[in-house]
């Protein structure tokens, strides 16, 4: 009984989604805080790094799917400036996954025309990963499809600190006047210069916080949290977020 009700509900939802697909507004820029890999593994009695491996698989599949939905910019939070605090074993296994993922992405995403850009302080990574980051960006630089920003060793506070240092230098060199500084002078010095602010930020894993993600850019982003753990994040979860986004009234402080 319960099963058949659920399947009717599912069919209804698929029809509803299809009918409304043309009317739904697809956000131009979406950010995703990919959280819950560790808990996903723990639930299965597996070591945390296994959760990261499955998370990397979801990363690739969902990026491809989202690029086909008309999203122009997708920013995925992969490693924060605070994630270095984790046990060395976990950090090392994440580096191993990055290595493998980066090597694959040199050829992957080509057929989807996805442009790959890395945001964050890459200088902290081992030399071979830094080289791979530059190589991945170079290979994808002329692609015309969705821009995928991978946030690695990214922190909103670190990004702002770097911007402040650059501004100080420009003021010192007489390129900028301290009295005439504008908000644009700040946003021009962030990793996301020339990219619109995220319209929607999705967080998996059930927490309701930004964890240092896009602190400046998120001023008016819509926040959507789902209990789904990142390795389980599906096309249906993404569509649910879009549906919810379409119900929000964005006023930007106006009426
Ligand atoms: C997110 O999953 C991945 C990274 C931060 C690298 P977590 O590893 O934070 O998983 P939980 O939150 O502990 O379940
Ligand atoms: C945020 O997740 C960082 C990434 C998803 C890369 P965390 O697991 O590090 O965040 P907290 O510790 O729950 O705030
Ligand atoms: Mg977490």
Residue 106 has a pLDDT of: 77
| 120-135 per-position pLDDT tens digit | 999 999 999 999 999 9
Helices (H), the chain: 2-20, 37-43, 48-67, 88-105, 127-140, 156-172, 183-187, 235-247
The closest alpha carbon to 243, from 228, 218, 224, belongs to: 224
Confidence of residue 12 (pLDDT cuts 50, 70, 90): low
Q: Which residues are catalytic?
A: 35, 83
Size of the chain in residues: 255
Residue 19 has a pLDDT of: 57
Q: Which of 37, 78, 91, 211 for mutating ligand 2's site (highest number of atoms within 8 Å of CB)?
A: 211
Q: Which protein residue has the closest C-alpha to ligand 2 atom 14?
A: 211
Instruction: Express as a percent the part of the chain with pLDDT over 70.
Output: 91
The residues, any chain, with a CB within 8 Å of residue 32's CB and separated by 6 or more, are: 74, 75, 76, 77, 201, 202, 203, 204
Q: Would the pLDDT of 4 be above 70? A: no
The closest alpha carbon to 212, from 114, 83, 105, belongs to: 83
Choose between 27 and 4: higher pLDDT: 27
| pTM, to two decimals | 0.92
Average pLDDT, the chain: 94
Q: Which of 38, 79, 83 for mutating ligand 2's site (highest number of atoms within 8 Å of CB)?
A: 83
φ and ψ at residue 137, rounded to 5 degrees: -65, -40
Residue 11 has a pLDDT of: 65
The verdict on the CB of residue 156 being under 6 Å from ligand 1 is: no
Residue 105 has a pLDDT of: 83
User: What is the token pair recorded at 2?
Assistant: 């319960």
| 145-196 per-position pLDDT tens digit | 999 999 999 999 999 999 999 999 999 999 999 999 999 999 999 999 999 9
| Cα gap 27→101, rounded to integer Å | 27
């Amino acid at each position: 009984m319960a099963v058949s009700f659920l399947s009717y509900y599912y069919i209804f939802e698929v029809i509803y989604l299809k009918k409304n697909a043309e009317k739904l507004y697809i956000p131009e820029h979406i950010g995703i805080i990919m959280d819950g890999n560790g808990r996903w593994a723990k639930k299965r009695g597996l070591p945390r790094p296994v959760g990261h491996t499955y998370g990397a698989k979801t990363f690739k599949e969902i990026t491809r799917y989202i690029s086909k939905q008309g999203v122009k910019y997708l920013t995925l939070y992969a490693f924060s400036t605070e994630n270095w605090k984790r046990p060395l074993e976990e950090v090392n296994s994440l580096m191993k996954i990055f290595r493998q993922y980066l090597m694959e992405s040199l050829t992957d995403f080509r057929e989807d025309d996805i442009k790959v850009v890395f945001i964050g302080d890459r200088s902290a990574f081992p030399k071979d990963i830094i080289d791979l980051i530059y190589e991945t960006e170079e290979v994808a630089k002329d692609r015309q499809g969705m821009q995928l920003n991978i946030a690695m060793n990214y922190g909103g506070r670190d990004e702002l600190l770097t911007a402040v240092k650059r501004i100080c230098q420009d003021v010192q060199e007489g390129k900028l006047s301290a009295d005439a500084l504008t908000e644009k002078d700040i946003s021009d010095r962030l990793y996301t210069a020339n990219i619109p602010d995220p319209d929607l930020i999705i967080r998996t894993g059930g927490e309701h916080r930004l964890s240092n993600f896009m602190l400046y850019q998120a001023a008016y982003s819509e926040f959507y949290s789902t209990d789904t753990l990142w390795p389980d994040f599906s096309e249906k979860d993404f569509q649910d977020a879009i549906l919810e986004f379409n119900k929000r009234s964005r006023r930007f402080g106006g009426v």
